[in-house]
């Protein structure tokens, strides 16, 4: 029997992925997921870690989401909220939704084991993030939340990719936050890494 061509294998793989994403989307539409995560911070390899420098004691994330009918995007009512607990007793909070100019977006892909990875990203406005680090908005770069959820058999769990990554700007590159800019300007190289309790 002749082996399937690479084109046929590719088309089959895409068909399986489409079926998987649509199935996950149907489950998410019927019962939107809620995932909560709380903890401290992993070292990110800086001489002085970001959370130490800016007095962050811990965090809490609540991610409420569904998948659209094609399984390729988030439903419009999806929402991600980040709270940061400071050592001085204050709490900083920011929420983003999937609608809006700088709304919540997600990279949605199949992973082995018939699961779906949902890597949500949210850009935080500079003026809002400046309050979390007590700096001028021009000096904070472009901060982003990245938060991964994994959906399998109708159950959602935490993924490994969770934290903050900061893209440098011309103004921030030479400031104190410049040392915390993400390597390769990528969410895979976060400035702050969440560590669940």
The chain-wide mean pLDDT, for the chain, equals: 83
Residue 28, Cα to own-chain centre: how many angstroms?
Answer: 18
pLDDT in tens, the chain (197 residues): 444 444 434 433 444 444 444 555 554 443 489 999 999 999 988 889 999 999 999 999 999 999 887 778 899 889 999 999 999 999 999 999 987 666 899 999 988 878 999 999 999 999 999 999 999 999 999 999 999 999 988 899 999 999 999 998 888 887 888 888 886 667 778 899 999 99
């Amino acid at each position: 029997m002749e082996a399937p061509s690479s084109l046929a294998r590719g088309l089959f793989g895409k068909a399986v992925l489409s079926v998987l994403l649509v199935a996950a989307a149907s489950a998410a539409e019927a019962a939107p997921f809620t995932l909560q995560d709380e903890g401290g911070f992993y070292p990110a390899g800086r001489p002085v870690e970001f959370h130490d420098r800016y007095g962050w004691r811990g965090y809490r994330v609540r991610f409420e989401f569904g998948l659209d009918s094609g399984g390729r995007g988030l439903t419009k009512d999806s929402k991600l909220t980040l709270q940061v607990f400071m050592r001085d007793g204050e709490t900083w909070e920011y929420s983003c939704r999937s609608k809006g100019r700088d709304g919540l977006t997600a990279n949605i892909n199949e992973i082995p084991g018939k699961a779906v990875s949902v890597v949500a990203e949210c850009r935080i406005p500079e003026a809002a993030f400046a309050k979390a680090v007590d700096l001028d908005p021009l000096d904070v770069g472009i901060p982003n939340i990245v938060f991964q959820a994994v959906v399998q058999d109708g159950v959602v769990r935490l993924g490994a990719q969770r934290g903050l990554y900061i893209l440098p700007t011309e103004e921030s590159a030479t400031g104190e936050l410049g040392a915390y800019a993400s390597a390769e300007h990528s969410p895979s190289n976060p400035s702050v890494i969440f560590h669940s309790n």
